[in-house]
Amino acid sequence: MEQERFHEPVLATEIVAFLVRKPGIYVDGTLGGGGHSLAVMNSLRDAGYGEQSLLIGIDQDDAALREAAGKLSEYENCSVLVKGNFQDIGSIVKKICCQRGMDPGVAGILLDLGVSSFQIDTPERGFSYLRGGPLDMRMDSDAPLSAGEIVNSYDERDLARLFYRYGEEPRSRSIARAIVMHRQKNGLINGTQELAAIIRSNAYGGEKIIKTLSRVFQALRIEVNGELDVLRRALDDGIECLDDFGRMAVISYHSLEDRIVKRVFAEKARSDWGPKGVGLREPLAWGDITLVTRKPLIATEQETRSNPRARSAKLRVIEKIPQGGRGEKK
C-alpha cells in the first residue's frame, strides 16, 4: 500500500465501523489531510447513503484544508470544508445547516486530536525538536500566541508550572530556571534548536533526554493552541449537536487528553438515581450518552508496525441517548 505522505490516518477501519451507520451529517473536527473523512465518505457511498449525507470538515490549519480539499474532490458536492476551531463545532454546524435548509442533527463526529505528521515534519512550523525552525507551534497561523513568545516572556514560575502541568515533566523547575538564565545572558531564544540545547544541558542523560524534550515541546504546543480547554468545550458542544443514536469518536495521543475525554464521557453517561437508599427501579434522569467503548481501543500490532504514530492512540466512542430515556434503536 502506498504510504500517505501528508498524514496516515490512525484506526481508520475502526472509525468507519463505529461511526457510519446511517445517512446524515458527519463532522470531522480535525480534518487534517482528510484521510479519515475520505474513508467515511467512501463507506457512506458504498452503503448507498452518499446522496443523503453531508460531510462538514473543520481544521484550523490552512495547509490541512488545502490538502483535504484535493483528497475529497470527488465529494465536493456533499462536503463543506471550513477553517475554524472545533471548540465552535455547534455554531459551525448550525450555520451550515441553516444555509442549506437542513436539520442540524449530526449522525457522527470525529476528533482525531493533536498535530498531523505534515505539521510535525515541516520545520518552519516549529513543532519538532528534531528539526531546526522558528519557535512557532501554532496550528492556526492567524492565532496570536507562539511558542517563542511563551519561552521569551513567561517568568520562571509560569514556565515551570507550564512544563509540569502540560508536560508532566519532573525537571520542570530546573528547565525553567535554565531558560530564564539563558535569556538573561544571551537575549531572546530564537529557534527550536536553541531551546533544545538548553533543555539537553539540563536533562538527565541517555533516553531520558528524548522524553524530556518531548514533554517540554508537548507542553508548549498545548499552551500555544489551548488544546485542553478547546477539547472540553468541543466534547460538550459535540454531544449537544448529536442526533438520537448519533455517535462521537475521539482519538487521543497522550494521557492529559485521554483523561479529559474519559471524565467528560463518564459524567455525561451517568444517570441520576436520586438520593442513596431510595432504591428506584428507573433513574430520575438517564445519562445523555452510553459508552460504546467501555475501555479505550488501541491499534493492532500490524497497524503500529506500519504507522508508528498509532502506538499511543486511544479511541473512545459514545452514543447519544434520545431525550426522555432509552428508546428502541431506529
Minimal distance, residue 65 CB to ligand SAM, in Å? 9
Cα 14 to Cα 8: distance, rounded to the nearest angstrom? 14
* 59 versus 288: smaller Cβ distance to ligand SAM: 59
* 225 versus 290: smaller Cβ distance to ligand SAM: 225
What are the beta bridge partners of residue 272?
Answer: 285
Grid coordinates of 34: 482528510
* 139 versus 321: smaller Cβ distance to ligand SAM: 139
Place of cell 517568568: 155
How deeply is 106 buried, as exposed, middle or buried, from its count of CB atoms within 10 A (0-12, 13-18, 19+)? buried
* 54 versus 251: smaller Cβ distance to ligand SAM: 251
Minimal distance, residue 63 CB to ligand SAM, in Å? 8
Minimal distance, residue 212 CB to ligand SAM, in Å? 23
Beta carbons within 10 angstroms of residue 6's beta carbon? 19
Place of cell 475501555: 295
Minimal distance, residue 60 CB to ligand SAM, in Å? 4
Which of helix, strand or coil describes residue 162?
helix
Minimal distance, residue 117 CB to ligand SAM, in Å? 8
* 30 versus 53: smaller Cβ distance to ligand SAM: 30
Residue type, 238: G
Residue nearest to ligand SAM (CB): 32
Contact positions vs ligand SAM (CB under 6 A):
7, 9, 30, 32-36, 58-61, 64, 85-87, 112, 114-116, 139, 230
Taking alpha carbons only, the member of 249, 215, 9, 276 closest to residue 106 is: 249
Minimal distance, residue 189 CB to ligand SAM, in Å? 25
Cα 200 to Cα 203: distance, rounded to the nearest angstrom? 5
Give CA separation, 38 vs 33, 57, 112, 126, in Å: 9, 11, 14, 28
Grid coordinates of 330: 431506529
Minimal distance, residue 230 CB to ligand SAM, in Å? 4
Cα 247 to Cα 290: distance, rounded to the nearest angstrom? 10
Cβ contact 257:166 at 8 Å: no
* 36 versus 314: smaller Cβ distance to ligand SAM: 36
Cα 100 to Cα 150: distance, rounded to the nearest angstrom? 42
Residue type, 22: K
Minimal distance, residue 49 CB to ligand SAM, in Å? 20
* 30 versus 290: smaller Cβ distance to ligand SAM: 30
What are the beta bridge partners of residue 134?
Answer: 191
* 11 versus 242: smaller Cβ distance to ligand SAM: 11
